[in-house]
Structure 1
Amino acid sequence: QRVRDRLPSGRVITRTVFCNQPTALLRPRRPAAAPPHAQAPAGAQAAPVRVPAPAARPEQPGTPGRPETLAAPPVPPPPPAVSPPASLFVPLVPAPTAPKPPPRPLPHPSEPTPELDRAATAFLSDLCRHAPQFTLSETDVRRLAPGVAAWLERGARPDTIRHALTDDPPNLLKHPAKLLKYRLTELLPPPPPGIRDLAALARPRITVTPFQTCDACERAFRTPTPGHCRDCREHREHREHRSEATRTAA
C-alpha cells in the first residue's frame, strides 16, 4: 500500500507499507508523522539557521529619537492534513470473525395432516434399519418429522428421501440429527406443478413457416411447400396471359 503524506515542513512524501497479513489493510491507519528535523549523526553539529532581520523603517518627522514599533510578520496557516487513500484490497474470503448468516429453518408442510405426521415419524424411526449410523432419539424424530412431511407432501417417495438423506455420510458422524436437518433443508425438492402450469405446457406451440428456395430465381421465401416466389409467379401468370391473348387474336 502506498500512502502520500505531508510533513510539517510542507514536503509531500510517499510511504510504502508491506503487510504479511492482508486483512490489516481493511482498517488502514495513518502512519505517524516524521519529526520536523532529521536526527543528526553523532558528533555532528547542526548548522545555524540565519533569519533575515526586518528592514528598519525611517523615523517619522516630529518624533526624533523614537524608533517605530514594527509588527510581527503573520504566521502562515498549517498545511492541511492529507488523509491516506482508501484501501483497494477487497478480500474474496470473509474473515474468520465475520458474522455468519443464520441457518435456514426446517421446512414444514403447507397443509399439515395427521397422515403426513405419522408417515414422517415412521420413516425416521425405521431409518436406522437401513443406515445404522443414523440412529435417532425420540426427540430428534419429533423435531425432524415436519421436514420429512414437507418432502412427502411434494410427492417424494420414501426410497428417494432415504437415499438423499443417508447417501455418502461423513466418516466420523457425530451428530446424525444435524446432518439430516441440513439435508432436509438444502435438498428440498420443488413443489409439483399445478393444474394451470400443466395447462400452459399443453398449449399448442406457434408453427413457424420454413424457408424455401425459388425454383426460378433461387430467392429465399417462406412457404410450407417448395415452388416459386411471388414475383416469379406473377411474371409467369402475366406471360401465360399474354400467350393466351396472342392465340385468341390469331
Structure 2
Amino acid sequence: MDTQQNTALTRALAEVPGPLPTSGVIHIAIPHTDRFTVVGNHLAQHPDLSCTAVGIAVRIQSLPQGVEVGIKALAARCREGEKRVAAALRELEAFGYLQRVRNRLPSGRVITRTIFCNQPTALLRPRRPAAPQHPAAAPAPRPAPAQTPDDVPTPAPAPAPAQAQVPMSAPAPAPAPAPTSAPGPDMSAPPPVPPPPLVAAPPAPLFVPLVPPPTAPKPPPAPLPRPDALTPELDRAATALLSDLRRHAPQFMLSETEVRQLVPGVAAWLERAARPDAVRRILTTDLPHPLRHPAKLLKHRLTALLPPPLPGSHDLAAPARPRVTVTPFQNCDDCDRAFRSPTPGHCRDCREHRTHHTNREHPSEATRTAA
C-alpha cells in the first residue's frame, strides 16, 4: 500500500491510440502550445552525426537570432567542455548545417558570422515562393466601382485569322476558287500518349566523408610473411623462439597449433638477418592491457613490422659517375684565337676566309669541287 502510483502516467497510457507495443519505447505525444522547436528527423536520426553534435544543433536551432553561438558561449550554456563543443561544431559544418563566414566591416575589423540551416539539403532544390500563412492576413480585394450602362464596354470583335489579314494599302486579291472540304480529324485514332514526367535526379550530398563509416567492409588482412625457403634450421630456430616467449612475457602462452601457424613469419625475419633477441624484443614490448589474443598480436607485428632484406655489397657501392668528354682548347695558327677542337688547326672564321680566297683565285677548282 506504500507504493506510490503515478495515476497521471496510467491515464496517459490509456489514452494512447492503438495497442501498446510489447517491447521498445512508448511515446506519449502531448501537443506543445508554447516554447517548442521543430526539428527534422534528418537531424535527429542522422546516421553520421554524434549525439553531441545533434544536441548542439538542437540547442542552436532553439535560440533566437542574434544570440552568440561560439565555442565559449555554447560551453557556458552546456555541460560539455570547449573541446567537445568545437568537435560538434566541426561535424555540423562538415554536413552543411553550420557555416562560419568571415566578413570585413567598413571600419576594417574582421568578424565571424555564424549561419545555421535547419535543412541543408533543401538549399540544393529550387525554392517556391512562400504562400501567406494566414488567409485572413491577405489583403481583401477592393470592390469594383459601379458601372453605368454607358460605361459598360462593348465586346470587341474576334480577330480574324492571320491568313485573312490584308494591309489596307494593298489591292484586293482576286477571288480564289472555292476550296474543297478538308477531311476532318480521324476520330477513330487513339489520342496521343503524353510523355512520361521527367524525374529530377536526387541532389548531390553537401559533404562526402573521407573516413568510412564503422559498418563499411574492411579490407582483408595482409598475409603472414613467409621465407623464400623454409629450411630445417630456420624452422627449428623459429619454433624455439616462439616457444621461449612465455619466459620473457607470461601473456604469450601459445598453443602448439598457434606456434606452427606463426613459424613461417618468424622464419622470414630470421632469413632477413634479424637477430633473435631483436625479434623477441619487438614482439614483447609495449603490450596492450589486457592482452586478449596474443597469437593475433604476434601475427600483426610479424606482418606490419617486417624489416627489408639486407642489401648486398653491389647495392651499397656508389654508382659510377658518367664520364664526360671535354674537348680541349686550341690556338688558331693564323689569328691565335682560342677555339675548341680535338686537333690543332684554324678557327672557323679563318677556315671560311681561306675557302673564300681559294675560290677567288682558282674558280675552276671550285667549279670542279661543286660538280
Tell me the TM-score normalized by structure 2.
0.37
In 2, Cα distance between the equivalents of 1:54 and 1:105?
91
List per-residue Cα deviations over 1:191-242 (Å, max 9, x = no partner).
11124313xx256779xxxxxxxxxxxxxxxxxxxxxxxxxxxxxxxxxxxx
Distance 1:82 1:135, change over 3 A: same
Any gaps of 5 or more consecutive residues in structure 1?
1-17, 48-52, 61-76, 207-250
Partner of 1:56: helix, strand, or coil?
A: coil
Distance verdict in 2 for CA 1:37–1:44, change over 3 Å: closer
Contact 2:125 2:203 in 1 (8 A): no
Q: What residue number does 1:50 align with?
A: none
Cα distance, 1:55–1:147 mapped onto 2, change above 3 Å? farther
1:1-250 pair list within 5 angstroms: 19=43, 21=46, 23=48, 41=135, 56-57=158-159, 83=201, 85-198=203-316, 201-202=317-318
The offset of 1:130, in angstroms, is: 1.2
The list of structure 1 runs, each at least 4 consecutive aligned residues, that deviate by more than 6 angstroms after superposition, is 28-39, 42-47, 79-82
Letter in 2 for 1:134: F
Query: Judging changes above 3 Å, is the alpha-carbon distance between structure 1 residues 159 and 205 closer, same or farther for their aligned structure 2 residues?
Result: farther
1:146 and 1:154 mapped to 2: Cα distance? Answer: 12
Deviation readout 1:142-191 (Å, 9 max, x if unpaired): 00000000000000000000011000100100110000000000000001
Instruction: Give the secondary-structure state (helix, strand or coil) at the position aligned to 2:274.
Output: coil
The structure showing larger relative contact order (alpha-carbon pairs under 8 Å, at least 6 residues apart) is 1
* Contact 1:40-1:46 at 8 Å conserved across structures: no
Provide closer, same or farther for how the CA distance between residues 193 and 54 of structure 1 changes in structure 2, counting only shifts above 3 A: farther
In structure 2, what is the Cα distance between the partners aligned to 1:57 and 1:177? 96
Moved more, 137-146 or 79-88: 79-88
What amino acid is aligned across from residue 161 of structure 1 in structure 2? V
The total of aligned residue pairs comes to 166
State the match for 1:230 in structure 2.
none
- Could you say what the CA RMSD is over the residues aligned between the two structures, in angstroms? 4.3
Contact 2:132 2:138 in 1 (8 A): no
How far off its partner does 1:41 sit?
3.7
Q: Structure 1 residues 39, 46: closer, same or farther in 2, change over 3 A?
A: farther
Q: Per the alignment, do residues 114 and 102 of structure 1 end up closer, same or farther by CA in structure 2, a change over 3 Å counting?
A: same
Q: Distance in 1 between matches of 2:201 and 2:262?
A: 56
CA distance in 1, matches of 2:255, 2:320: 53
Distance 1:105 1:93 in 2: 24
Identity across aligned pairs (percent)? 61
* Aligned residue identity for 1:126: D
Letter in 2 for 1:182: H
Unaligned segments of structure 2, at least 5 residues: 1-41, 50-94, 97-120, 142-154, 165-194, 323-371
